[in-house]
Structure 1
Amino acid sequence: MNCFKLPIGLCEEIEGLIRRFWWGQSGERRKIHWARWGELCKPKGEGVMGFKDLALFNDAFLAEQDWRLLQNRNSLLCRVFKPKFFPHGSNLEAPQSQIGSYAWSILKGRDVLMEGLRWRVGDGLGCIRFRESVCLALIKPGTNEWNSKLLQQLFSTRDILIESIPLSSMQVEDKLFWPFTPSGSYTVKSGYRFLYKAQSLDNNDYQHEDNGLWKRVWGLKTQPKIRNFLWRAIKNAIPTKVNLKRCMTITEDRCEQCKAEPEDTEQQAEWDFCGLGAFGTFKELVEHVVEEGKGLEFLTTIVWTVWHRRNAMRTSSNPFPVQQIQ
């Protein structure tokens, strides 16, 4: 994955295997997928599982190879590829090639760098090579000062931020850097986040959610299966009867315990836990417990035990008594 561009079909096939494993499918017996794959691929800090979109992940890996070609001109990789594919410049200027080794498919990662890289301006000559003659006139030759008159002609007053970029008093070369890491060096992790955010913005699907809830959830000192259940309960991604009826798996959605209200995490009777008050949804209850610094581990264990007993009532004639939960 970090050396070759994988076919989209192969990535989708692997993702299908991951989805089926995650939702518990075995053999030909199909399972309900309670959340779409694009939702599961969002970062854990946004309240989902942090699975990788393999096509984007592949591009992020390939961009790392292009970054190495750009930074390590004396490496064996660069000395092998440069005479054939970019003899008169850098790999950022290399033309597309349909001949030669398939290893040159790492060029696919160049688009990632071209979208995200920024210039640290020195003498302006490096920028000129990539942007023709635009940068040449913006810097006064020999003085290392911005051409304010030209900037005012090319940009509106509100958008003139270029003059705030300091120019070195020494004759140093322009340098490309990756602005999404503190060191300025490209990493696969930052590249993937950059690609995923750009894709989400294009699809109008980017919703940043960072109120500390999910950091607290994933940091719970409890069993992984209980943390996973808590996430599914907050997202209403568990097989309650209302959800099963919505999927046309069953026809009756009454709760097994009370036989009166519909069984659903979002629409059932208001939650009330240990006198904390009434809440419309389970997520509101968890957010309140996190904000107040109360025992989220205790709440999670109790809720998981209640769910475990609920399942026992459906599959067994002798579920353990409710008093054991208290």
Structure 2
Amino acid sequence: MKKRSIPWRKGDVLNDPKGEGGLGFRNFQLFNMALVAKQGWRLITEPNALWARLMKGLYYPNGDFLTARKGSTSSWIWSSLWESRKALDLGTIRVIGSGEDTWFHKDPWVHPIQGHTISSLLDPPSRVRDWMCQDGKRWNMNLIHRHCSPEEADVISRIQIGPNGAPDKWVWKFNSTGSFSVRTAYHGFRNHLKEVNQPMPNDLNLPADDDKWKWLWSLNLPPKIRFFMWRCIRNALATKLNLFRRKCSPNTTCQLCNGEEESPIHCLFLCSHAEATWRTLFPSNVVPQNISQWIFSLREEGNGEVCRQKIFCLWNIWKARNEFVFKGVVPSPTRTSIFAFREAAEPHLTPFSSSTFNQPREIPSLSCPPPFHPQQRIYCDGSFDVATQEAAFGVVITNSDGQIWDGKAGRIICSSPIEAEARAILDEKTIKR
């Protein structure tokens, strides 16, 4: 039986472009409509093609594609083409040349007006050419003012008439060249639906500024880190609180501290492990009220190095939490802070480096963050095996430049990982003396 994944965000959010807070996935229904609409566009612009003449003879012998009826015995191909006409109506407009091939009241040629058509009742139907002066170079404004509304007359007066004898032609308004393309059709349909549908309430206080989203995706970070930040902003992390809301967890209690509700803020900032990690690297760090605002506030910081370190600190806190939940590895704030600083300092971690993602990565040499003040610093860590009650510890001393000055590693028998780290510090003090 295939397991179902948890949909953390709605498909509409994922289909939004990255610059608007989504992931840029294609909406397959709209994309398929754009593909079929391309064939409908060919029916309009290439009426003399063999297949177009065949369709005309079968389904609209006395009309055109844009006014044809579906019919009760239509084939699957014709039904698809007919449905695509709804999409074509959004972007198909008529450019006036001589005006002899365009109906004044039903063809979409009055561009700024909603629907691009004249709504005033006209009897009998007439061509656009009939509303021009005799020379065909100017509009007959007296006639237009008598039969059209003031708004329509004003719009028509500003429409440029083509050169003498130039034919009327169809153009696609979503493309600056006037040619139909699946890409512009897809985005045109999507933007239209976005305007028609009611916007969802912004319950996450997400920014409306596209530049902030572009900043996020342009960061010089591995794709997985940028995606993690997007999940933080979109509240798409698998915390106990979010799992409980989706009926995937019996409670909301944090598994690390067993005290408070595991919300994203608690998991990444307020939990005992997260709080100690932040205090190690950034003693003056302030706990934010909103993760999305905190992440986007990094954009305003002048020091890009500090910004990068904070992002990797956030990432390693989340990794340490997951290692504890899924593997039972007790996290260490010191180890987490060292990993965060080390990864942030790796120069080859760029989103465009093929060696970073396609080849096995070499384990970098150990480097520790320099102290914030000119003094020596002790780093220690320990791992504990519950079954054997055996622990392994490692401890190093760095100078004011962050260079390793001394260190020691060993195995001991103890009762907890905290005891292992405490004994490692005692041994390190012995080394220092």
TM-score bracket, normalised by the shorter chain, equals: 0.7 to 0.9
Mapping of residues 211-222 of structure 1, within 5 Å: 211-222=210-221
Conserved in 1, the CA contact under 8 Å of 2:241 and 2:252? Answer: yes
Aligned to 1:58: 32
Q: For this pair of structures, how many residues does the alignment match?
A: 300
Structure 2 alignment gaps of length 5 or more: 108-124, 338-433
The one-letter amino acid paired with 1:61 is: L
* Residue 177 (structure 1) shift: 0.8
- CA–CA distance in structure 1, aligned partners of residues 28 and 246 of structure 2: 29
The one-letter amino acid paired with 1:149 is: N
Conserved in 1, the CA contact under 8 Å of 2:45 and 2:170? Answer: no
The one-letter amino acid paired with 1:109 is: S
Aligned to 2:229: 230
Aligned to 2:98: 123
Aligned counterpart in structure 2 of residue 39 of structure 1, from 4, 10, 13: 13
Aligned counterpart in structure 1 of residue 326 of structure 2, from 294, 315, 319: 315
Conserved in 1, the CA contact under 8 Å of 2:13 and 2:21? Answer: no
Conserved in 1, the CA contact under 8 Å of 2:101 and 2:127? Answer: no
More strand by share: 2
Matched, 1:164 2:158: yes
Please list the CA deviations of residues 19-59 of structure 1 after superposition, one character each: whole Å capped at 9, or x if unmatched.
Answer: xxxxxxxx444443221223322233211123333332222
Structure 1 alignment gaps of length 5 or more: 1-26
* Residue 74 (structure 1) shift: 4.3
* Residue 186 (structure 1) shift: 1.3
The one-letter amino acid paired with 2:177 is: S
Mapping of residues 268-307 of structure 1, within 5 Å: 274=282, 279-292=288-301, 294=304, 298-307=309-318
Aligned counterpart in structure 1 of residue 81 of structure 2, from 106, 113, 133: 106
Larger-Rg structure: 2
Matched, 1:198 2:172: no
Q: Given the superposition, is the C-alpha separation of residues 286 and 172 from structure 1 closer, same or farther in structure 2, using an over 3 Å criterion?
A: same
Q: Given the superposition, is the C-alpha separation of residues 210 and 192 from structure 1 closer, same or farther in structure 2, using an over 3 Å criterion?
A: farther
- CA–CA distance in structure 1, aligned partners of residues 195 and 336 of structure 2: 45
Structure with higher RCO (Cα < 8 A, 6+ apart): 1
The one-letter amino acid paired with 2:179 is: S
Aligned to 1:147: 140
Aligned to 1:253: 252
Q: Given the superposition, is the C-alpha separation of residues 266 and 175 from structure 1 closer, same or farther in structure 2, using an over 3 Å criterion?
A: farther
Conserved in 2, the CA contact under 8 Å of 1:67 and 1:186? Answer: yes
Give the CA RMSD over aligned residues: 3.3
- CA–CA distance in structure 2, aligned partners of residues 28 and 298 of structure 1: 40
Judge which range, 92-101 or 279-288, deviates more.
92-101
* Residue 320 (structure 1) shift: 4.7
Conserved in 1, the CA contact under 8 Å of 2:19 and 2:210? Answer: no
Identity of aligned residues (%): 27
TM-score (norm 2): 0.60
The one-letter amino acid paired with 2:86 is: D
Conserved in 1, the CA contact under 8 Å of 2:144 and 2:153? Answer: no
Give the match's secondary structure for 2:94: strand
Matched, 1:85 2:59: yes
